[in-house]
A and B are shown apart, each in its own frame.
Chain A
């Protein structure tokens, strides 16, 4: 980056000439270079390759596209992916809130360690998480040996998919709820209690509404991540067609058969789901900002 010095002329009082809006704050140098580089790099790494995906889809006729994205095996994979992602995110919403609550409100030995450990799913490669969970839950694993005699099998079926997605999604909920919980005003809780509310009522009507947007955001982020997750799931799922085969694996399977068009069609479906979720999350965050700004 070669940042050349522009003349140090702080906000000139002259009105901007029509047609060329000058930014009065533009005292700092390097804007054109930084923006130019950002847009170029973004285009090369993200936008151009993504447009290749869209263009590839247009080589299919509508019938071919519909056929590729709605064959029974693919539809079964959507059901599994969405269902497992939903269940896992719901579990994470409950336990993530619990963990965030305990970390913010209570003091206990080893708290800092637990706080740091919450980010483990972000830092641990997904493949490692996948084989490790499989080793634990397989019928001869630490947990599997305890459960197998009772007829509970958590690996190589749909249960395994849910468990892997719980592991992957936990930090999203904790890390979105935690800061909001830290910022809630204790005065409101004191007021509620002095007005005669029980502790549960205070939580239900004062604290929970304040953190609900963050909780929903965390849930959606975990859900969005779970939809696309691949590495941790494939080891534990067993990957039986129609039963425990996730959508990203369908894409891989089609690629391995050199069915690029089919893979692209399913990928586009997955992308559309993700984008709808992304818009939803953005709206949620705007809601959260409005709500915290209004207080």
Chain B
């Protein structure tokens, strides 16, 4: 008895570090997180409340701030569903079928991630701007895309393009096609199969992708900055409004709008963590099911 505990203890000593090393490493990691993540986050809120709650509320009730909030919401409300439909379609054909050029397609879907946001904005200026491909035609028909809301939405769609597809593709690939095939063979229509078999299986991945996509869509700065034209009250999203206020030395107002975006980030992290924990729990529950009742709702364990 005494011998086994001793053996166990020495075995554990071989795969972990002395206590002082552990404490030192944890302290260093926490100090780094504190300095680089927690402190900037705290600074947003303290700077916003520097002149008290009254100044904070006044800053948020500016009509320009409101129009920035509205434009940000509109942009996300258009960009996220567009990329959601695309993400599901892309994941369906990539994960459930074999075809030539699949690797290339996946690489192209990831492409917007490796393009600088500034370049992402620039390409739309080159297509739709006054000197661009479609510029003269658009001007003749009095359609404004660049330096207007449609350009902002397009640039946002570009930078958030891969988010949902990228979450869904590996998830759906790991799930295979057995369940869908069974549903089809049993007589379900394609739409029924998708709705009742595929969708429940991918729901966590879908939510995960949507909230990350949404966070980026609402917070995008570089790409939107190039195509917006910075017209106050018209083509300013929240991050652009933050920049303008900050450059005008209206620090409290800038941080007040920024604090809304920081809250959005915190809510995003919260939902993301909850989704991860739920997914993990379902995975574990599925792993413990007896093999004759494979009612899993995640990837195969």
Chain A positions near chain B (C-beta within 8 angstroms): 1-6, 8, 10, 23, 25-31, 33-35, 37-39, 41-42, 45-50, 52-53, 56, 95, 98-99, 101-103, 105-106, 108, 112, 114-129, 131-133, 135-136, 141-143, 166-167, 170, 186, 189-190, 192-194, 199, 202, 224, 227-231, 235, 248, 251-252, 255, 260, 263-264, 267, 270-271, 274-275, 277-278, 282
Contact segment of B28-36, B54-62, B287-295: B28-36
Is there contact, CB below 8 Å, between B125 and A28?
Answer: no
**Within the complex, what minimum Cβ distance (angstroms) separates A280 from chain B?**
11
Question: Which of B25, B112, B254 makes the CB contact (< 8 A) with A131?
Answer: B254
Question: Which of B14, B39, B125, B216 makes the CB contact (< 8 A) with A255?
Answer: B125
Is there contact, CB below 8 Å, between A231 and B157?
Answer: no
Q: Which chain B residues numbered 22 to 78 have a C-beta less than 8 Å away from chain A?
A: 22, 25-26, 28-30, 32-33, 36-41, 43-44, 47
Question: Which of B32, B116, B218 makes the CB contact (< 8 A) with A98?
Answer: B32
Is there contact, CB below 8 Å, between B39 and A267?
Answer: no
Known A35-B93, A127-B242, A228-B116: A142·B39 in contact at CB below 8 Å: yes
Q: What are 28 A-B pairs at a CB distance below 8 A? A: A3-B189, A3-B193, A25-B98, A28-B180, A28-B193, A30-B92, A41-B86, A45-B158, A53-B119, A53-B126, A101-B29, A114-B29, A122-B216, A135-B43, A135-B47, A170-B37, A193-B11, A193-B15, A194-B11, A199-B14, A199-B16, A199-B17, A231-B117, A251-B119, A260-B131, A271-B116, A274-B115, A277-B114
Known A23-B97, A131-B242, A189-B14: A116·B117 in contact at CB below 8 Å: no
Is there contact, CB below 8 Å, between A34 and B89?
Answer: yes
**How many pairs of residues, A versus B, come closer than 8 Å at their CB atoms?**
308
Q: Determine the distance from Cα of A142 to Cα of B193 in the docked complex, in whole angstroms.
A: 57
Q: Who on chain A is nearest to B239 by CB?
A: A127
Question: Which of A38, A119, A251, A282 makes the CB contact (< 8 A) with B122?
Answer: A251
Q: What are the residues of chain B within 8 A of A129 when measuring CB–CB?
A: 40
Question: Which of B93, B107, B131 makes the CB contact (< 8 A) with A31?
Answer: B93
Query: Told that A4-B189, A131-B255 touch, could you supply 15 new A-B pairs with CB distance under 8 A?
Result: A28-B177, A33-B89, A35-B97, A35-B99, A42-B105, A49-B123, A50-B115, A52-B123, A117-B38, A123-B215, A126-B219, A126-B221, A128-B239, A136-B40, A199-B18
Question: Which of A37, A135, A228 makes the CB contact (< 8 A) with B117?
Answer: A228
Q: What are the residues of chain B within 8 A of A6 when measuring CB–CB?
A: 190
Q: What are the residues of chain A within 8 A of B116 when measuring CB–CB?
A: 227-230, 248, 267, 270-271, 274
Is there contact, CB below 8 Å, between A26 and B97?
Answer: yes
Is there contact, CB below 8 Å, between B261 and A125?
Answer: yes
Q: Which chain B residues numbered 224 to 259 have a C-beta less than 8 Å away from chain A?
A: 225-226, 238-240, 242-243, 246, 251, 254-255, 258
Is there contact, CB below 8 Å, between A102 and B269?
Answer: no
Is there contact, CB below 8 Å, between B32 and A45?
Answer: no
Q: What are the residues of chain A within 8 A of B92 when measuring CB–CB?
A: 30, 34
Number of interface residues of B (CB under 8 A): 103
Q: Determine the distance from Cα of A204 to Cα of B88 in the docked complex, in whole angstroms.
A: 43
Is there contact, CB below 8 Å, between A116 and B243?
Answer: no
Known A127-B243, A167-B36: A116·B118 in contact at CB below 8 Å: no
Q: What are the residues of chain B within 8 A of A224 when measuring CB–CB?
A: 114
Q: Determine the distance from Cα of A192 to Cα of B11 in the docked complex, in whole angstroms.
A: 11
Q: Determine the distance from Cα of A267 to Cα of B212 in the docked complex, in whole angstroms.
A: 27
B161 at the A/B interface (Cβ < 8 Å)?
A: yes
Q: What are the residues of chain A within 8 A of B221 when measuring CB–CB?
A: 125-127, 230-231
Q: What are the residues of chain B within 8 A of A115 when measuring CB–CB?
A: 273
Q: What are the residues of chain B within 8 A of A3 when measuring CB–CB?
A: 189-191, 193-194
Q: What are the residues of chain A within 8 A of B16 when measuring CB–CB?
A: 105, 199
Question: Which of A52, A118, A277 makes the CB contact (< 8 A) with B127?
Answer: A52
Is there contact, CB below 8 Å, between B41 and A132?
Answer: yes
Q: What are the residues of chain A within 8 A of B243 when measuring CB–CB?
A: 127, 235
Is there contact, CB below 8 Å, between A37 and B265?
Answer: no
Q: Who on chain A is nearest to B241 by CB?
A: A127
Q: Determine the distance from Cα of A135 to Cα of B16 in the docked complex, in whole angstroms.
A: 40
B133 at the A/B interface (Cβ < 8 Å)?
A: yes
Is there contact, CB below 8 Å, between A99 and B191?
Answer: no
B108 at the A/B interface (Cβ < 8 Å)?
A: yes
Q: What are the residues of chain A within 8 A of B28 when measuring CB–CB?
A: 98
Question: Which of B22, B33, B94, B265 makes the CB contact (< 8 A) with A118?
Answer: B33
Q: What are the residues of chain A within 8 A of B189 when measuring CB–CB?
A: 3-5
Q: What are the residues of chain A within 8 A of B14 when measuring CB–CB?
A: 189-190, 192-194, 199, 202
Is there contact, CB below 8 Å, between A42 and B109?
Answer: yes
Q: What are the residues of chain A within 8 A of B123 when measuring CB–CB?
A: 49-50, 52-53
**Within the complex, what minimum Cβ distance (angstroms) separates B51 from chain A?**
14
Is there contact, CB below 8 Å, between A29 and B40?
Answer: no
Is there contact, CB below 8 Å, between B40 and A228?
Answer: no
Q: What are the residues of chain A within 8 A of B204 when measuring CB–CB?
A: none
Q: Determine the distance from Cα of A143 to Cα of B34 in the docked complex, in whole angstroms.
A: 12
Is there contact, CB below 8 Å, between A98 and B29?
Answer: yes
Question: Which of B39, B161, B238 makes the CB contact (< 8 A) with A46?
Answer: B161
Q: Determine the distance from Cα of A203 to Cα of B135 in the docked complex, in whole angstroms.
A: 60
Known A38-B105, A98-B25, A132-B40: A30·B158 in contact at CB below 8 Å: no
Is there contact, CB below 8 Å, between B191 and A95?
Answer: no
Q: What are the residues of chain A within 8 A of B41 when measuring CB–CB?
A: 120, 124, 132
Is there contact, CB below 8 Å, between B132 and A52?
Answer: yes
